[in-house]
Chain A
Amino acid sequence: MQLLDIRNLTLELQTPDGAIRAVDRVNLTLKEGEVRGLVGESGSGKSLIAKAIMGVLHERWRITADRFHWCGEDLLRLPYQKQRQIISRDIAMIYQEPSRSMDPTAPIGEQLAESIPDHLLQGVSWWQRSYFRRKKAEALLHKVGIRDHKAVLSSYPYQLSEGVCQKISIAMAIAKDPKLLIADEPTTALESTTQSQLFRMLASFNQLRGMSVLLISHELETVARNTDTLSVLYCGQLVEAGETKDVLQSPRHHYTDALVRSVPEFQPDLGFKQPLYALPGSIPTLQHLPIGCRLGPRCPNARKECVKTPVPERQQNHHYSCHFPLQQRGSDE
């Protein structure tokens, strides 16, 4: 079943110098049980899209979309209260710096108990509620791999390491058994051993509970190993989307190609200390976005037609928007 169906999402910001399109007609779909990766560098708008899905964007952003459906319901047409009801029931999000996204003044036990939704406590008499909540909090901590629950439940966020804090955020997120978990760069602040633990945990939740995951990151290696499908964003435009293996083995857009080739991980033949492939120039700032295809000034294959925004094309579940796409490589590349 289609969980998320977003078509032509545009996020605009009004400034004294005019409207800036931070996100320009992005399509995003998500099925039940799918793990999708959203790859993009800084300025690509990936965090903005996540916040738009959660409905926590600042008021000065203007959201327009042809379709913004969650499980068949159009979120943009619903009144605010109904939107929040649906989102809080079904979608959860974890953030980049976990110790900063938790309340610094309350111990973990209180925060975890607070995140357990009321509908799981039906049938429990009122004097047993807090005991029940505490028991459930302990069970959640065990599920995310924290065995020493006594010490953790009575500590404050600043006393715990980032890895433990991130596990607690995941515990708070899965407390309500959401259909979708949005992970906004969850592992950037963590160490590599904790990172692998976290991804194993996400994979197990995905398989055992059927929870979909939207994994947002700027590291291609992380996303490559842990996702089924991939969407690549550049400067607010969707450049390529499809199955991860397909996109990485035969990228059609030059940006994806550059990303793949700039990471030594995907170049087994690259000699020691040889220069990496890098696109010239740097990512344009929000104030100076190019017209048409935003990779134009940096693309090695840019031509006159690239001042018009390319139309998304599709080839066997592999979407790309480029006027002059790369040829499909053989699978033995």
Chain B
Amino acid sequence: MKKLRLYYEEYNRRPYQLLWRHFVTQQFALFGLLSLLSLLLIAIFSPLFTPHDPYLQNSALLNQVPSWQNGGQVAYPFGTDDLGRDLLSRLMLGCSYTFGTALLAVFGSLAAGLLLGGLAGMSKGVKSSIFNHLLDLALTIPSLLFAIVIVAVLGPGLQNTLWAVMLALLPQFVHAVRHEIQHQLKQDYVIAYRLDGANNLQILWSVILPGLWEPLTLLFTMALSTAILDIAAIGFLGLGAQAPTPEWGTMIADALDAIYLAPWTVALPGLLIFITVLSINLVGDGLRVAMKKRREI
């Protein structure tokens, strides 16, 4: 995209504008970003736009085939499930449950991780060393297992799944924040700021926090895909959202016994989970490549 240059002007691009420029040149990453944004819109506005009531059971139209097959209706574009509920509306609402819960979990984890990681990163000495090593121990447990254990303690339900996933992702964020803060503190420009007379809080605010955005954004995308898979998996195991909540994992588990009769009730939620995780990973990959390119010429 060449701009007409009549006069030779300097472009004082801020670092994130450079990042955006490099990101946009990758088509796959842009596609991932667009699909992610549309999923986000669906997650926020779905309760207003579902064509039918997701919980309304219609006994006349059990296991209706999707509209593109023989016998399907356009009024029910994705067909219905075994209780006669419209699949499209359920999938849209499920987006808010699965994707929305995952977003909430990751944001909560991020905030807590910033707080704890900041404290851990700025402290020195034996206390901080013990704290850090304990946290690193928590990293060895796989997140799904950790989440299942917490849900087993708290009891089933979507809200408890939210807390469980948040806690399961916390060690990663704390580790990343602590590591990045300690790395930044060793840099020359932090010493230069101290020499200029800045106190600890000012250094944290104007030096360290801007430097944290990059690794945290990458970690955010990775954690988001892990969170979605964990929530769906816990729902599938029956420990998460209980029926009739249209969470995607729960929907797959419920429709599994009728898989030969109505395969679309299993395939479509699974496909949506796949699309969501794929777009998140594409965006994450694109960000990583853009950050690498920004460091070169």
Q: Do A and B come into direct contact in the complex, CB within 8 Å?
A: yes
Residues of chain A having any CB pair with chain B under 8 Å: 15, 17, 286
Which B residues, 1 to 16, have Cβ-Cβ distances below 8 Å to chain A? 2
Bound Cα distance A286, B297 (Å): 9
B interface majority secondary structure:
loop
Bound Cα distance A296, B240 (Å): 72
Q: List 3 A-B contacts (CB under 8 A).
A: A15-B297, A17-B2, A286-B297
Bound Cα distance A17, B297 (Å): 12
Bound Cα distance A192, B86 (Å): 81
- Taking the closest CB of chain B, its distance from the CB of A283, in whole angstroms, is 16
**Size band of the interface chain B makes with A:** under 10
- CB nearest neighbor in A for B10: A288
Residues on the B chain within 8 Å of A286, using CB: 297
Residues on the A chain within 8 Å of B2, using CB: 17
Residues on the B chain within 8 Å of A17, using CB: 2
- Taking the closest CB of chain A, its distance from the CB of B2, in whole angstroms, is 8
Q: Across the A-B interface, how many residue pairs have beta carbons closer than 8 Å?
A: 3
Mark each residue of chain B from 215 to 255: 1 if its CB lies under 8 Å from any CB of chain A, else 0. 00000000000000000000000000000000000000000
Residues on the A chain within 8 Å of B297, using CB: 15, 286
Bound Cα distance A327, B186 (Å): 54
Bound Cα distance A15, B2 (Å): 12
Bound Cα distance A11, B290 (Å): 26
Mark each residue of chain B from 75 to 117: 1 if its CB lies under 8 Å from any CB of chain A, else 0. 0000000000000000000000000000000000000000000
- Taking the closest CB of chain A, its distance from the CB of B31, in whole angstroms, is 20
Bound Cα distance A252, B47 (Å): 80
Residues on the B chain within 8 Å of A15, using CB: 297
Bound Cα distance A17, B3 (Å): 10
Which B residues, 251 to 297, have Cβ-Cβ distances below 8 Å to chain A? 297
Mark each residue of chain B from 1 to 37: 1 if its CB lies under 8 Å from any CB of chain A, else 0. 0100000000000000000000000000000000000
- Taking the closest CB of chain B, its distance from the CB of A16, in whole angstroms, is 8
Bound Cα distance A197, B206 (Å): 47
Bound Cα distance A15, B25 (Å): 13
- CB nearest neighbor in A for B25: A16
- Taking the closest CB of chain B, its distance from the CB of A297, in whole angstroms, is 13
- Taking the closest CB of chain A, its distance from the CB of B243, in whole angstroms, is 53
- CB nearest neighbor in A for B21: A16
Bound Cα distance A15, B293 (Å): 12
- Taking the closest CB of chain B, its distance from the CB of A38, in whole angstroms, is 23
- Taking the closest CB of chain A, its distance from the CB of B263, in whole angstroms, is 47
Bound Cα distance A206, B235 (Å): 76
- Taking the closest CB of chain A, its distance from the CB of B22, in whole angstroms, is 10
- Taking the closest CB of chain A, its distance from the CB of B9, in whole angstroms, is 12
- Taking the closest CB of chain A, its distance from the CB of B25, in whole angstroms, is 8
- Taking the closest CB of chain A, its distance from the CB of B293, in whole angstroms, is 11
Bound Cα distance A231, B2 (Å): 38
Top 3 closest pairs, chain A to chain B, by CB: A15-B297, A286-B297, A17-B2
- CB nearest neighbor in B for A288: B8
- Taking the closest CB of chain A, its distance from the CB of B19, in whole angstroms, is 15
Bound Cα distance A17, B2 (Å): 8
- CB nearest neighbor in A for B1: A16
Bound Cα distance A286, B296 (Å): 13
- Taking the closest CB of chain A, its distance from the CB of B273, in whole angstroms, is 37
- Taking the closest CB of chain B, its distance from the CB of A195, in whole angstroms, is 26
- Taking the closest CB of chain B, its distance from the CB of A20, in whole angstroms, is 9
- CB nearest neighbor in B for A15: B297
Bound Cα distance A132, B37 (Å): 66
Bound Cα distance A14, B2 (Å): 15
- Taking the closest CB of chain B, its distance from the CB of A71, in whole angstroms, is 35
- Taking the closest CB of chain B, its distance from the CB of A17, in whole angstroms, is 8
Bound Cα distance A277, B297 (Å): 32
- Taking the closest CB of chain B, its distance from the CB of A281, in whole angstroms, is 16
Bound Cα distance A292, B2 (Å): 25
- Taking the closest CB of chain A, its distance from the CB of B195, in whole angstroms, is 26
- Taking the closest CB of chain B, its distance from the CB of A150, in whole angstroms, is 36
- Taking the closest CB of chain B, its distance from the CB of A194, in whole angstroms, is 26
- Taking the closest CB of chain B, its distance from the CB of A290, in whole angstroms, is 12
Bound Cα distance A286, B2 (Å): 19
Bound Cα distance A108, B297 (Å): 34
- CB nearest neighbor in B for A18: B2
Bound Cα distance A293, B2 (Å): 27
- Taking the closest CB of chain B, its distance from the CB of A43, in whole angstroms, is 12
- CB nearest neighbor in A for B5: A17
Bound Cα distance A17, B5 (Å): 11
Which B residues, 161 to 199, have Cβ-Cβ distances below 8 Å to chain A? none
- Taking the closest CB of chain A, its distance from the CB of B83, in whole angstroms, is 55
- Taking the closest CB of chain A, its distance from the CB of B247, in whole angstroms, is 44
